[in-house]
Amino acid sequence: MRTSRVSRETARIAGALSPTKRRSTRQAAREANARDEEEDLEADANGALTPRSSPVDGDIKTTSRTPMRKRKREEVPNRESPTVGSSSREGVTKRPKPRRHPAKHIKGPNGSVKIEPPVNWEQVYGTTAAMRKRVLAPVDTMGCESLAEKHRSPQDQRLQTLVSLMLSSQTKDTVTAVAMKNLQDNLPGGFCLDTLLEVEPDELHKLIEKVGFHNNKTKFIKSVATILRNQYAGDIPDTIEGLVSLPGVGPKMAYLCMSAAWGRDEGIGVDVHVHRITNLWGWHKTSTPEQTREMLESWLPREKWHDINHLLVGFGQTVCLPVGRKCGECDLAAEGLCPSANVKRPSPVKKKVKKEIKIEFEDGAVAKVDEMVVQADDLGMKVEADLEGDGMIEAQALAGAVAPNVKQGVISGFPV
């Protein structure tokens, strides 16, 4: 066997010095396994022959004496699996995201269409109304319906209501209220149809210049005054068709004016707040305020047509803002009624434990530790304390065991 071993060594050196092609990994592995088997057989010539290699992957043989075993995962008793809808953090329950329940159009056997309202609309409406009572919105004190002078005649009040609605387009209620106050205080003879006809356009423009699109609105108001005098006997129209025919008056203004000026609810005044919020609630999926009005009027009870605009405008001014919605302060989000709510849960904050503990050693020495690092696990508590001059010591309270160098003491409530 020695001769063969010397021959193998000589062949190996010659192979390394020769310019031949490098042997493949598979071939080298086969030769290495063959050498190992031969050495093992020689070593065990006087005893039981126990080759340590086993065939793996065809010709390749492994050289490990003890096969690797996968460590068995220890079972943890009394460990319950998380329930559906619960958080991994103990004590925190995640509410499933609310679903959208839009109004449905159901066709009958005779071709008729029945509108089925959203399933939870009454709860959403009532919760929103309760929130509105707690918070005062600009529309409550400066809305177009409340800007007319109460001491004027009913005809003048209707005119002022119409003009305030014309000024409110693309303008905040606070700015509209200031412009209306300027007209009421500075028009010669008061705010009435005759003064609107007599005032110069430049003077009228100065009184309303803070509102949006003030140049166009100046022209519209002068034109409307002339139309009211010539076609409606100095009063405003009492029909939706007549109101929308006036320059600068759209469907929203017409329905709101009919309700506030004439006391007739012939439709829902849908502005940007009503259109936006009802879509956020999932009551429908519309792209224009006019489509929203048609959808709402198809199922919303008529007695709520007048109130829904005032309700949602104030809600949109205080809580459900166009930018930066306050979902964290909204009862609809807290009760899981709004499918568009965006409430972020605070992330858990890791705190460093800082306490004073007393540790007594076997030799009678006593040490006080001010700062320590506490690590909780399934069995107990582990404390690592850094003592000045004594290096790092460990005191463990795991299932009642005591570290060898600790005699007695209390560690974060765990007796050792």
Find, among 161, 37, 104, the residue nearest to 299 by Cα: 104
Name 396's bridge partners: 382
Name 55's bridge partners: 61
Cβ contact 314:139 at 8 Å? yes
Q: Residue 62: CB partners within 8 Å, gap ≥ 6? A: 53, 54, 56
| Length, in residues, of the chain | 416
Angle (CA) 208-214-217 rounded to 5° is 95
The catalytic residues are: 252
Alpha-carbon torsion, ordered 241, 259, 148, 174, to 10 deg: -100
Name 391's bridge partners: 387
Q: How far apart are CA 341 and CA 304, in angstroms?
A: 24
Name 373's bridge partners: 384
261: helix, strand or coil: helix
